Amino acid sequence: GQDNPGYFPARLGQSLEAGRFCIVRKLGWGQYSSVWLAKDKKQNQFVALKILTCESTKALQTSDEKKRSDELGMLQKISTAQRSHRGFEHTLTLYDSFEFQGPHGRHLCLVIEVLGHSVDYIRHLSDAGDLRLSMALTKRVTKQILCGLEYLHDVCEIVHTDIKHDNILFRLSDVNTVVAHALTAEPSVSYSADTEVITPIVPVVSQPLPLSLEDTVPTAHLKAVLTDVGHSHWQDHHFQELIQPAALRSPEVILGYPWGTSTDIWNLGCLVTEFLIGFWLFEFRAHGDKWNAEEDHLARMTEALGTKFDTVFLSKCQNSQKFFTSSGCWKNFTSHEEPTWLLEKLLAEFASVDLGEDEIIAAGKFLRKCLRMIPEERASARELLRDPWLADVFL
């Protein structure tokens, strides 16, 4: 049916690819796939099988080259381009891939390394209602994701466009041992055979993680991996123009200005702010028929950064007449009853109280380099890796 994207209904114990892989557990799922833990009998190791839905397998093979995304091609490039790069270990490694026929149609299956918890998972484990990450963990994840982005941007020529909590996973120190240990424990949730029914994620237990802001568990052993290039674009070949999760969307995408690798930097700036304060940097909505959600979003940006949009920049944006008059004034937006907080004030008020003032100021300066309205003015991943805020993080 139309609302059936065609998840593969895997069964535990089922074998795939002429008996090479045996399905052991469900690791997770997304809009485009379900992900399974499997034993690879040929290589004698545990692997993750990302089995794309029939619909998304078809989309990868559409004859319309302009609209064709390329998750497999990108993973192949990422896995081979430059293994010695410092960002290589912060991106996902592809071992193999194959296609097979299921009851709903054909599936592409990506054979990838098994990873542990996502950042999303650990933030929901911390003290009730508190979705902040510790400063130590925030800095570590930020630096590692920047290494991964430097590799994607400068070596692979890929724009990720989907940097969010559930696409950042932690690597397991010793996959076979950790997985074997996890499997001795009873599955914590019942297994639903029909993968079109939402099944809770069964996480593979990894090392102890720093859960709360006060936690003293060292973060030094954690390695974050930027996964899921299912929405990513080649720098010189975009397969669509409306990109990024709405809350993390950059001004140039809303305004219709050429975007590229720097759009990931805006996305990262929003996400890192969220790590520190525990809620979205930009929350926006339509105000009745006065102004729409996009205009509200743009207005929130100007308030949080304390800057107006540059009129020369606006004149180069395809959609600016939707939101601005020719003199650069808002077309519809008047003012918020409760204005957005300035970035620095937001950090000072909502980031952990234990943090010294210096640490907050340093974080603010870093974020200002990511959150520039004009894409060309944003720092690159390579430049941000030299930022003083991250100088005391040893990878």
The only residue of 201, 205, 217, 247 in contact with ligand ATP, by rule CB under 6 A: 201
Q: Which residues pair with 55 in a beta bridge?
A: none
Distance CA 29, CA 34 (A): 4
Between 117 and 139, name the residue whose CB sits nearer to ligand ATP. 117
Q: Does 5 bind Mg ion (CB under 5 A)?
A: no
Shortest distance, position 27 Cβ to ligand ATP, whole Å: 4
Between 42 and 67, name the residue whose CB sits nearer to Mg ion. 67
Distance CA 229, CA 257 (A): 23
Token output for 25: 């557990």
SS3 of residue 154 by DSSP: helix
State the residue for tokens 């996009």.
Answer: 294
Between 161 and 340, name the residue whose CB sits nearer to Mg ion. 161
Token output for 3: 């609302």
The only residue of 16, 24, 38, 48 in contact with ligand ATP, by rule CB under 6 A: 48
Stretch that binds Mg ion, among 7-15, 130-138, 194-202, 226-234 (CB under 5 A): 226-234
Helices 343-350 and 293-305 cross at an angle (nearest 10°) of 80
Distance CA 328, CA 316 (A): 12
Shortest distance, position 33 Cβ to ligand ATP, whole Å: 4
Stretch that binds Mg ion, among 160-168, 243-251, 275-283, 315-323 (CB under 5 A): 160-168
Distance CA 16, CA 10 (A): 10
The only residue of 16, 24, 115, 371 in contact with ligand ATP, by rule CB under 6 A: 115
Distance CA 117, CA 122 (A): 7
Contact residues for 362 (Cβ-Cβ < 8 A; gap 6+): 388, 389
Shortest distance, position 24 Cβ to ligand ATP, whole Å: 12
The only residue of 70, 228, 295, 296 in contact with Mg ion, by rule CB under 5 A: 228
Helix (H) or strand (E) holding 29: strand 21-29
Stretch that binds Mg ion, among 119-127, 214-222, 224-232, 241-249 (CB under 5 A): 224-232
Binding-site partner at residue 50 among Mg ion, ligand ATP, none, CB < 5 to 8 Å by type: ligand ATP
Question: For residue 285, how far is the Cα from the chain centroid?
Answer: 23
Shortest distance, position 295 Cβ to Mg ion, whole Å: 28
Between 92 and 172, name the residue whose CB sits nearer to Mg ion. 92
Range list of H helices, 32-88: 54-60, 71-80
Helix (H) or strand (E) holding 363: helix 357-370
Kindly provide the b/e burial profile for residues 89-109, where b requires at least 16 CB atoms within 10 angstroms of the residue's own CB. Answer: bbbbbbebbeeeebebeebbb
Kindly provide the b/e burial profile for residues 129-149, where b requires at least 16 CB atoms within 10 angstroms of the residue's own CB. Answer: eeebbbbbbbbbbbbbbbbbb
Binding-site partner at residue 364 among Mg ion, ligand ATP, none, CB < 5 to 8 Å by type: none
Between 114 and 182, name the residue whose CB sits nearer to ligand ATP. 114
Between 160 and 300, name the residue whose CB sits nearer to Mg ion. 160
Q: Give residue number: closest CB to ligand ATP.
A: 30
The only residue of 9, 30, 203, 245 in contact with Mg ion, by rule CB under 5 A: 30
SS3 of residue 224 by DSSP: strand
Report 202-241 residues binding ligand ATP (CB under 6 A). Answer: 227-228, 230
Distance CA 348, CA 357 (A): 8
Report 155-184 residues binding ligand ATP (CB under 6 A). Answer: 166-167, 169
Shortest distance, position 332 Cβ to ligand ATP, whole Å: 33
The only residue of 4, 11, 31, 200 in contact with ligand ATP, by rule CB under 6 A: 31
The only residue of 87, 210, 230, 375 in contact with Mg ion, by rule CB under 5 A: 230
Binding site for Mg ion (CB under 5 A): 30, 167, 228, 230
Binding site for ligand ATP (CB under 6 A): 27-33, 35, 48, 50, 112-115, 118, 166-167, 169, 201, 227-228, 230
